[in-house]
Chains A and B, each alone.
Chain A
C-alpha cells in the first residue's frame, strides 16, 4: 500500500448497536485525499451503517472519528456537512420538478438583497458542471427530463457545491446501464484528480477494480481486510467479502470451469 498522504478522515474502533443487533464492531477506516476508497461487503455487512455514522445520520456508540488528526463528534448530518463531508445517497435526493440549477443549490441558495440570485447560481452551476466535464442538454430543464446517468452525475455534482473534502457515494452505479456507469466512473476519477477523498460503496467488483485505489472489506460488522487494488485479484476481494475461499461464488466458478474442461 502506498499511503502517501495523511488520512483526512479516520475511524478507530467504531461500534454501533441497534437494540439486539451489533451492526458495527471495532471498525477502523482511513480515508485519504486524492484516493478512492471502495467500501465493499455483502448485504448486512454494515456498509450503510458505517457511512451513516460518517454522514452523521447515526451517532457512534464507541470508538473515535478523527478529522485531519483531531477527534471530532459527528452527531448530526449538519456536523458532517460542516466538516466537509458530502454524501450522495442511493436514491439520489433530487426534486424532479425543479431544474438542474435549483437542485444543485437546493438548501444553500445564493441570494442578492434577500432575493434568489438566479444569474449567479446558473453561472456557478455551469462552471461546476464544466469543471467535471458533465454534459447535460441545459441547466434549466427539470430533473425529470434527464436520464438515470445524468441524474446520478447531477446528484454527485450537487454534493460538490459546498466544496467538501470527502465525498461518499452510496452505490452510484447500481441502477445504471453500461455507458452511464462509465460516465459515473469517469466522474469519480475526476473527483480524485481534484484531490478529493472519495468513498465508493459498490456491489460491483468490476467497478471497484476500475476506479478504486484501495478496498476496505466489511464482513458481519467487522473489518475483513484492506486491499491495494493494484496488487489484489477480484477473487481475493470476493473471498474477503464472503469470508472464505470456499464459498458459493468460487464453488460455482470451479464447477463451471470443471465442466468446461471435461467437454
Chain B
C-alpha cells in the first residue's frame, strides 16, 4: 500500500448520492469483493434458461413448491454457514437430520409421546449430538473434519438402530410435522402483511441507525441509498408475496425459514457472540488473547448447527411423508454445504453472511426443480449440481486471490 499517509482520513468514504454508490460498487468489483453478485446473476440465468426450456418454471405453483422445498436444507445450511464462519466443516448434518426425524417418528408415532414434545426432544437430540462433536473438536482437539466424518457414519447407524424393525414411519394426519410441508396461510393478507413488516422493519432499522450516526457526528449513508435499499427489499418481498398468493398463499415452511434466517443474522451481526464467531474464524489466537473463550464459541456453534440440522430434518421428513432408515443420506449433506458456499460464505473461515443459506439453497433447488420439469434423470442433476458447486468454490478462491492482490484479504 502506497497510500499510508493519506491526507484525508476518510478517503474511502464514498461520495454522497447515487453516483458515489455506483463508484463504490465498481471499486468493490475491481477489488474482487463479488459478494452475492455471482449468485444473483446465476439465479437470473437459471430462471431464464428453465423458463425458456419448460415454459412452466416461473409459474406460481412451481415457485411456491421451491419456496417450500428450500426450508429444510436452508435451515440446515444456516448451521453450516455458522460452522464455516469458524473456518470448520460439519459433515454430519445429513445423518443428524435423519436421526432427528427417526427419533421424532419413533417417540411420537410408535411410543405415543406428545407430538410437540417429541419435536422438542428431536431438536434437543440434535443439540446434544452437536455438543458431542463440539467437545471432541474444541476440548480434545480432534479436527472437526474427522469428528464430523465419524459422526456422519455413527449417527446414521444410530438412526437405523432407532428405527428398529420399522422400515418407514409415515406422518400421522394430525401431526404438526405434516404442517411443515402442507400448511399455507391461505388468506392473502398474511403474505402481504409479512412483506410489509419485513420491508418496514428493514427501512426503520436503517433509518434509526443513520439518525444515531448523524447524532454522533459519524459519516452517514445518503437518504437515496436507504430509499434504494428499501425499494429493492420491498420489490423482492411484495413480488414473492404476490406470487405465493397466486397459488396457495404463504407457506408455513417459508415463514419458519425466514424467522431462523432473521434470528441467525441478528445473532451474527449484532451480538457480541456473533462478533466472537468471526474473530475465532479470522484468527483464533488473537481471539484468545482478547479474552474470548475460544473453546466455548466453537462448542456452542456446533450445538447450534446440530439443533438446526435436527430442525431441518423434520422438514425433510415432512416432504418425504415420513421418517425412514435412509432419510438424510444421499446428496442432502453435499447440497447443504454447497448451498452455503454458493451463497457466498467462504470455506476458509471468517467471511460470509447468513443470507447465503437462502441464496444457495434457492440456486440448488431451482436447478433440481428445473431439471425435474425437463424430465432429466438424477445422474444429470448430480453432475450439474457438482459443476455449480465447483464453480462457486472457484469463484471464492479467485476472489480471495484478487482481494489479496488488491490488499483486502
Contacts from A to B (Cβ < 8 Å): 77-78, 81, 89, 91-98, 102, 106-109, 111, 114-116, 118-120, 122-123, 126, 129, 135-138, 140-142, 144-147, 149-150, 179-180, 183
- Indicate whether A135 sits within 8 Å of B278 (C-beta atoms), given known contacts A93-B286, A116-B270, A145-B408: no
A56 CB, min distance to chain B CBs, angstroms: 12
Stretch in B44-52, B151-159, B212-220, B240-248 touching the partner: B212-220
Once A116-B270, A116-B272 are accepted as A-B contacts, the answer to whether A98 and B209 lie under 8 Å apart by CB is no
CA distance A145 to B365 in the complex (A): 36
B379 beta carbon closer than 8 Å to chain A: no
A115 touches B270 (CB 8 A): yes
Q: Which chain B positions have C-beta within 8 A of A145? A: 1, 407-409
Min Cβ gap B23→A in Å is 15
Residues of A within 8 A of B283 (CB): 93-97
Query: Looking at the complex, which one of A77, A89, A138, A183 makes contact with B11 (CB distance below 8 Å)?
Result: A138
Instruction: Give 15 pairs: A residue, B residue, CB < 8 Å, sorted on A.
Output: A77-B291, A98-B278, A106-B279, A106-B286, A106-B290, A111-B272, A122-B216, A126-B218, A129-B9, A135-B5, A137-B3, A138-B12, A144-B408, A145-B409, A150-B4
- Assess A106 versus B408: contact at CB under 8 Å? Given A137-B3, A146-B1: no
A119 and B216 within 8 A (CB): yes
B residues near A77, Cβ cutoff 8 Å: 289, 291
Interface centre among A97, A118, A122 (most CB of B within 10 A): A97
Contact B216 A120 (CB under 8 A): yes
Q: Which residue of B lies closest to A144 (CB)?
A: B409
Residue of B nearest to A116 (CB): B270
Please indicate the chain A residues that have their CB under 8 angstroms from the CB of B275 in the complex. 98, 102, 106, 109, 116
Within the complex, the shortest CB–CB distance from A92 to chain B, in Å, comes to: 8
Q: CB < 8 Å: which of B11, B212, B270, B282 contacts A95?
A: B282
Interface range on chain B (Cβ under 8 Å from partner) = 35 or more
Nearest B residue to A111, CB-CB:
B272
Q: Which residue of A lies closest to B4 (CB)?
A: A147
Distance (whole angstroms) from the CB of A260 to the closest CB of chain B? 37
B351 interface neighbour in A81, A91, A97, Cβ under 8 Å: A97
A138: chain B residues within 8 A (beta carbon): 9-13
In the assembled complex, the CB of A158 is this many whole angstroms from the nearest CB of chain B, namely: 9
**With the chains together, A79 CA to B287 CA distance in Å?**
18
Tell me which residues from 274 to 319 in chain B have a Cβ below 8 Å from any Cβ of chain A: 275, 278-279, 281-283, 285-287, 289-292
> Are the C-beta atoms of A94 and B1 separated by less than 8 Å?
no
Do residues B216 and A95 form an inter-chain contact, with CB atoms below 8 A? no
- A146: chain B residues at CB < 8 Å are 1
Given A95-B282, A137-B11, A142-B408, 13 new contacts (CB under 8 A):
A77-B289, A78-B291, A94-B283, A95-B287, A97-B278, A97-B350, A98-B275, A106-B286, A118-B209, A120-B216, A135-B5, A135-B9, A144-B409
Q: A183 vs B409: C-alpha distance in the bound complex, in angstroms?
A: 24
- B residues less than 8 Å from A120 (CB atoms): 216
Chain A min CB distance to B37 (Å): 19
| Chain B residues positioned under 8 Å from A98 (CB to CB) | 275, 278-279, 282
Q: What residue in chain A is nearest B87 (Cβ atoms)?
A: A97
Question: In the complex, which of the residues A115, A136, A147, A180 contacts B9, with contact meaning CB atoms closer than 8 Å?
Answer: A136
List residues of chain A with CB within 8 A of the CB of B9: 129, 135-138
* List of A residues within 8 angstroms of B10 by Cβ: 137-138
A137 touches B6 (CB 8 A): yes
Inter-chain contacts of A91 with B (CB < 8 A) = 285
B271 within 8 A of A: yes
Known contacts A97-B350, A116-B275, A149-B4, A123 near B292 by CB under 8 Å: no
Q: 10 shortest A-B CB distances, which residue pairs?
A: A107-B290, A97-B282, A97-B350, A95-B282, A144-B409, A145-B408, A107-B291, A138-B12, A93-B286, A106-B290
Q: How far is the CB of B344 from chain A (nearest CB, A)?
A: 14
Cβ contacts B245-287/A at 8 Å (1 or 0 each): 0000000000000000000000000111001001101110111
Contacts of A135 in B (CB 8 A): 5-6, 9
Most buried by A among B3, B281, B283, B285: B283
CA distance A116 to B217 in the complex (A): 18
Query: Which residue of A is nearest B9, CB measured?
Result: A135
Residues of A within 8 A of B290 (CB): 93, 106-108
User: Known contacts A95-B286, A137-B9; is A109 also within 8 Å of B272 by CB?
Assistant: yes
Instruction: Give the CA-CA distance A173 to B5 in the complex, in Å.
Output: 17
Q: When chains A and B are docked, how far (Å) is the Cα of A136 from the Cα of B11?
A: 9
Contact B12 A106 (CB under 8 A): no
Residue of B nearest to A95 (CB): B282
Residues of A within 8 A of B13 (CB): 138
